[in-house]
Amino acid sequence: DARVTQTPRDKVTEMGQEVTMRCQPILGHNTVFWYRQTMMQGLELLAYFRNRAPLDDSGMPKDRFSAEMPDATLATLKIQPSEPRDSAVYFCASGLDGRPYEQYFGPGTRLTVT
Amino acid sequence: DQQVKQNSPSLSVQEGRISILNCDYTNSMFDYFLWYKKYPAEGPTFLISISSIKDKNEDGRFTVFLNKSAKHLSLHIVPSQPGDSAVYFCAARIFGNEKLTFGTGTRLTIIP
């Protein structure tokens, strides 16, 4: 049963601390997306990769957020320093090039910054 | 600037009745529309989609209607079942672009 995995599932941290969220896409998928869910904005796209290359990170606050794919099995999203307004659920999704209706989402990381 | 809007944050429907979820969009470049369903503590899952060359797509109890002139789409669920209680997200894509633009979601509650 192939699925996207995300760790940690929950993270509580203090303002100013670094936060790293990890995602393992479905084996064979070549696109990876990071989304943030908030009540006001719904699901916002933060960044996405195709074949590990970043294609668009325009949705991400550049000064504190960074997204990388060290290899095909791992995507990371870092926030440094974290702020209370970063509190949200962060989803990773993976898919296949050219098939946008088949974005498979992970269970999300719920981040709380106090 | 919210290009995909779901103006009803919540909706309650009696079991067995029809549920109608609405979505409006502003960008005329969108050519493909999707609905995702999300249960608590899980990620969204793809439900149904429609291309802009169609005005209706049906899959079992789920039907999506597209009115391009009004920039409006709707998801009909009939008959509604308790397992349909979830948050539903509308999403849209511009041709040739893998990015999806999502709405804010509508929480559907089916009353037994």
CA dist A90 and A100 (Å) reads 19
Question: In this structure, are residues A40 and A64 in contact, taking their beta carbons and an 8 Å threshold?
Answer: no
pLDDT tens-place values along chain A, 114 residues long: 689 999 999 999 999 999 999 999 999 999 999 999 987 778 999 999 999 999 888 889 889 999 999 999 999 999 999 999 999 999 999 998 767 667 899 999 999 999
What is the pLDDT at residue A101? 67
Stretch B86-91: mean pLDDT, rounded? 96
pLDDT, tens digit (0-9, with 9 covering 90-100), for B53-84: 999 999 999 999 999 999 999 999 999 999 99
In a mutational test of the B interface, the residue from A3, A101, A105 whose CB has the highest number of chain B CBs within 10 Å is: A101
As a dihedral over the C-alpha atoms of residue A83, residue A84, residue A88, residue A91, rounded to 10 degrees, the angle is 10
For the stretch A5-29, pLDDT in tens is 999 999 999 999 999 999 999 999 9
Residue carrying the six token digits 């789920």: B62
Strand partners of residue A46? none
Closest chain B C-alpha to A37 CA, distance in angstroms: 9
Q: Is B3 on the interface with A (CB under 8 A)?
A: no
Chain B partners within 8 Å of A33 (Cβ): 100
Give B105 to chain A, closest Cα distance, Å: 6
